[in-house]
Amino acid sequence: MSMLETKERVAPNDFERMELSSLVNLAGEPISHFWPMKTFIHHNPLHGLEHLSFDEAVKMGKRFFGGRGHLPNSEYRNYYKEGRITEESISDAIKNGAQNETLNIGSRKLSRQEVLRSLLIHGTGKIATDVSSAILQQSLSPSDAKTLSEKIQGLPKCKARRESLRSYASRDQVELAVQYTLGEWCDQTLGTKVQDQINGELIKWCGGFLDEGHAPWTMPFRKKNFYNVWKELVLEDASGTLLGIPDWKSKIHNLPNRPEDAVLESLSLLAIPKALWHDYFTLQLAQLSGWAGFIKWRAEQLDYEWQRAFPIDLVMYMAVRLFYERELTALACQDKLAIDGSYTSIQSYMTQHAVGYGLHKEYHMRGLPDEMSGRLDASLFVQNPLSIDALDQCDSELISSWEEIRQQQETDVQALIVLQLSRSLDIPLQDFLESAPEALDSLLEWVDQFPESQHGPTWLKAFESSYLKGFVKHLSPNLQKLGKSDLPEEQVPVSRPLAQAIFCIDVRSEGFRRRLEEVGGNETFGFAGFFGVPICYQGYTSELPTDQCPVLLNPKHIVKEIPRAYQGEAAERFLERHHLAKTGHTLLYDLKENAITPYIMVEAIGWFFGFKLFGQTLKPEWFKNAMSWMKKCLVVPISTTLTVDKIQRDEALEMVASQHRATIYRLLIEQYDQKGAAVSHDQVERLRKLTVTQILPTDNENEELYRLLEWSEADLEQFIRVLREDYHLHQRDISRRMHRITQTGFTVVEQAHFVEMALRILGFTKSFSRLVLFCAHGSSSDNNPYESALDCGACGGNHGISNARALAVMANKAQVRQALAQKGLVIPADTHFLPGQHDTTTDEVQLFDLEEVPATHRKDLLRLQRDLHEAGEKNSRERLTRFPDEPITNGTVKALSRTKQRSVDWSQVRPEWGLSRHSTFIVGRRSLTQGMDLEGRAFLHSYDHSQDPKGRYLEIIMTAPVIVGNWINMEHYFSTVDPMVYGSGSKVYHNIVGRLGVMYGSQSDLCVGLPTQTVLDGERPYHEPMRLFTIIEAPLEIISSIIVRHDILQRLTKNQWIHIVALDPVTMEFHLYKSPDNWQAVN
C-alpha cells in the first residue's frame, strides 16, 4: 500500500504548482532543444551548459547524459603519429596545466611536465585490477615483482588511498538522487531493468502523442493534452499489469487531475528531499534527452500548429515519468530487499548494511576472487530476494582477507604503471626500486592526478594549437601580397569583372568559389545564405510557410510565390494537376498503410512498386531521369514571381472585402441558384457591411433583396449568422487578414535598407559587373531523413533560393537604386542581379527568374552558365576524391554525372560529406584566401574593415553568422566524439518516427545529432573535432569592444566554446583572443 493511500491527500496550492513548474523548466535548461527533422537545425547539444567552461560542461554532460566529451586517447595518439599534433603543442598544453615540480629517480631528474607528456603519449599502462597480478608476473621476474610490490605497499600516500568495502555504501549514499535516479540505483545494485521499462513506456506514449501525420492510425483524444490523454488511454493498456504493478487501474484513477499535483505526489512517495529536486528533474529528463528536447522546443512554440492542437510540456512528461518510477522502484525494492522504494528507505538500508552492501557491489563489479571461492558461497550474491543481510554476518577475518586481496591487486596495478613509466621514460626499473619512497610516492600521485580519463582536454588543446599554427603558416603567402596591396603606391585600378557571384558562407561553397574564380574573370563573395533578408516564405502550392532565416531571428515579413500575371490559365491547369497528384499520393499512402489492402492489392499494383524498386536499385540515375521526363509531360510549366512589394492599407482592405464578396456570392448561388446570381454588386456589398457591423438597417433599402430572394427579416438574420459563424465574416477575421496581408512584402525604404546592408556588410560597394549572381544553396538526395541537415542552416534548414530571389528583385528595382544612390551607393544602370541555387550534392547551379534578364545581357548570361558548369565539374572531381567508396577518377570521367548518381541512389548513406571537416570561419577580404585550397574546411564571409571604421557591420557578422557557425561546429564536434550519445549512430538502424525524427529500430530515444556516415570514415573520424577558429581581419580593439558589448560572445569566448583570432590589418600578425586586454600572438 502506498504512503498516500494511508492518509488523506492535501491538494497543492497555486503557489506550489507555479514553483514546481518553474523548477522543472529550469531543470530542463541542460537539455538542448530538438527541432523537427523537416527543418534540421544544427545546435550545440550542450547549449544549456554554455554558462560553464567547455571542460566543466563536458563533465556535466558526462554526468547527465553519459556522453564522452573528447575523442578516445588512441585517436589523438594516431594524430600525433601522423604529425597532426606537434611536440611543441603538447609541451604548451601540458605546461599550462602542470606545476613546475621535479623529483629524482636514480640519477635522472624528472619534471612533472616530462612525466605527464609520457603519460599522454604512451598511456599509463593501467589495466583492470582482476588481471593485474597475472600481467605483472608475466612482465617481471618474481623477485623484481615482489620487490616492487613491497615498495609500493610501504608508501604512505598509497596506504591513504586504499578503500574499504564500506566505502561503497558511503559513496552511493552521497550520489543517490544526485548522480543517478532511484530507478538507476535499482538497476545498478539489484540487477533490475527499471530504467528500460520506464523509457519503454515513455517512448510509446510520446511517439503516439507527438506524431505529426506519419501514423495511419492516430492516437485519440490528443486535444486533452499529454497527461490527460495518457490517464485515459492507459486504462485500456495492459502494460501496467505486464510490468507487475499491483492495483494498477486503481492507482491511475486516483491520480490528480493536474500534472503538477501528480509530480508533487510522486516526489512525496519517493521521499526526494526538496533540495535535490532540481538535479533530480534534470536526471529524469536526461534519460530520454531527445524526446525531452523535442517536448521542450514544442512547448515554447506557442504558434506551432501541432502544439496548439495537442498541448504538451515538460511538467506533463515529468508527471508520467515519475509515476512509473515510483511504482517500479517500489516493486523492485520490495521484491529484492523487502523495503519500499523511497529515497529515505534506500539510504537507511545502505547505512544499516554497509558491509553486506559493499560485498554485494564488489562482487557484481569485479567478481569473486579465486582465493575466496572456497571460503564464501557465491550463490549468496544471486539469490532472490538478495542475501545482503547474510553477507552482513560475514566474520571480520573473511572481510579483511577480501580487502587484502583487492589491495594487493591495486598494488599490482600501481606496479604496472611504474613499469610503463620505466619503459616510456627510458629509466631502468632498478632506479625506481632504489629511489626514495617519497619520490616514488609523489610520482604515483602525479599519475593519479592525471588519469587517462582526463587526457582529452590536454590532447584537444594540443590538437587545436597545432592546427592553428599550421593554418596561419598556410596563409602566409597571401599575407605578404595583402600587406603590399594595402600600400598606396601598390594599389592599381580595379577592372570590372565579367561576373560576380555572392555565395553562402557554407564550407561547401569554398571549393566552388575557388573553381569559378579559376575559370577567369569572375569575382566571388561570401555571405550568410539568407542574404540578410529574414522572411516567412510561402511557396506556390506549399501547404505551410517556412521561416527563411537563422533560428536566432524572427521573420516579420511574409513573401509569397505566385504565378506571373500572364500565367492565369496555365496556373489553373497547374493547380488542377497538382491537386490530382496530391490526391493520388494520399490515396497510395493510405492503401500502403491500411491493414487489409496489402492482402488484395499486391497482385493489382505490385508491379508498379516493382518497377520503382528495380529502377531505384539497379539504375538510379536512369530511373530519376525517366521520372523527371514523366513529370515534365504531366506537370504544366509555370513561371512564378515573389510578392516583394508591400500592399498599402487601402488596397489590403479592398482585398479582404473582395474575398468576402466572393464568399457571399458563392453562398447565394449555392442556396438560391439563379436568384442568388441576380443579386447586384451593391446589394452584396451591403450584405457584407451588415455582416461585419451587425447593424441591421432601419429603412427599406433591402426591400429589393427581400423581394428577389423571398426573404423575411428573420431570413436575413439567419444568412448573416451563417456568414459570421461558418465563414468567419466578422471584424476579428478582418483584423487577422489585414495583419497577414500588411505583413506581406516590404516598403521601398525597407527594400533599400536590406540591399544596402547586404552590400555594405560584404564591402561590395563598387566595381559592379553587368551580371551579379545571388547564389543560394540546397541539397538533393534520396531516402535520406537528414536531407534538411545538408540544406542552408542560415535559412532554417531550408533551400535558400527564395531569399536570393527576393533580394535580387529588390536590387533590380529603380526606386531602390535611387534610394541607394542618395546614400552614396551607386549601382550602374546596366548591372542586373540574378538569383540562383547551388546544389551542394551534384554541384549543379540552377538560375531563376531568367525572364527578367535584359536581352542586352544574353551573352553575359550564356558565359556565366558555361563558367558555372565548368566550375561545377572541377569541384565535383575534387570532392569525389574525398569519398572512400569512390574509385580514383581520371580525366575522362564526368564528375558531375557521378555526384548526380550519388544524389539519386536511395542506398547511398553518404550522398555528400556536408559540413564535415570544417575548422575555421574567416571574416575578411577575399584576397586573404584567394587561390588557396582550403579543402572545403572554411566558412568564408566577405568583409572589408576599411569600409567599416566603427565595426558596425562586423558586429552584425559576429552576433549572427558566427553564432550559427558555432552551433554547427558544436553539433559536428559532439556527434564525432560520441556518435551514440550526442550523434545519431548509424543510418542503417534508423526508423522515422512521427515525421519529427528518427529512432534506433522500433524503440529508442530520438536521435539528436548527426549520423556516423556524416562524421566518420569507417572507424576513424572524418570530421576532425575541434572548436571553431573564427579568424577576423580587423583591428583588435574593435573586435574586443564588440565582444564586451554582447553577453553571448563573452560567454562563448570566456568559456572557450569558440576561438577568436584577429588578423591585425596594420602588422599583418595573428592574435588569439584571451580577454579584452589580452591577445596572445600566434607564431
Of 949, 920, 960, nearest to 1038 by C-alpha is: 949
User: Which segments within 610-763 are labelled E, that is strand?
Assistant: 640-642
Q: Which strands make up the sheet holding 499-504, listed edge to edge?
A: 522-527, 499-504, 771-778, 832-839, 844-847
30 prior amide bond cis, ω within 30:
no
* Pair 155, 439: CB distance under 8 Å: no
Q: Give the span between the Cα atoms of 500 and 768, in whole angstroms.
A: 8
3-state helix, strand, coil in the chain (%, to 5): 60, 10, 30
Q: What's the chain's length in residues?
A: 1083
**978 known ligand binder:** no
Q: Give the span between the Cα atoms of 329 and 325, in whole angstroms.
A: 6
Cell numbers describing residue 14: 497555486
Q: Give the span between the Cα atoms of 828 and 902, in whole angstroms.
A: 42
Determine how many CB atoms are found less than 10 A away from the CB of residue 917. Answer: 17
Per-residue HEC secondary structure of 146-180 comes to: HHHHHHHHCCHHHHHCCCCCCHHHHHHHHHECCCE
**504 known ligand binder:** yes
- Residue 807 to residues 525, 559, 774, 868: CA-CA distances in angstroms? 15, 11, 8, 21
3-state secondary structure of 626: helix
* Pair 455, 71: CB distance under 8 Å: no
Q: How many CA atoms lie within 13 A of 364 on its CB side?
A: 17
Letter for the amino acid at 460? L
Q: Give the span between the Cα atoms of 247 and 79, in whole angstroms.
A: 59
| Cα torsion angle, 486, 492, 494, 498, sign | negative
3-state secondary structure of 660: helix
Of 893, 805, 787, nearest to 846 by C-alpha is: 805
Letter for the amino acid at 746? F
* Pair 1053, 1060: CB distance under 8 Å: yes
3-state secondary structure of 713: helix
**792 known ligand binder:** yes
Determine how many CB atoms are found less than 10 A away from the CB of residue 669. Answer: 15
* Pair 329, 317: CB distance under 8 Å: no
Cell numbers describing residue 67: 556522453
Q: Give the span between the Cα atoms of 254 and 315, in whole angstroms.
A: 18
* Pair 773, 499: CB distance under 8 Å: yes
Q: Give the span between the Cα atoms of 310 and 222, in whole angstroms.
A: 5
Cell numbers describing residue 931: 587561390
Q: What are phi and psi of 340, to 5 degrees?
A: -80, 165
| Binding residue ranges for Zn(2+) | 504, 506, 777, 792
| Binding residue ranges | 504, 506, 777, 792
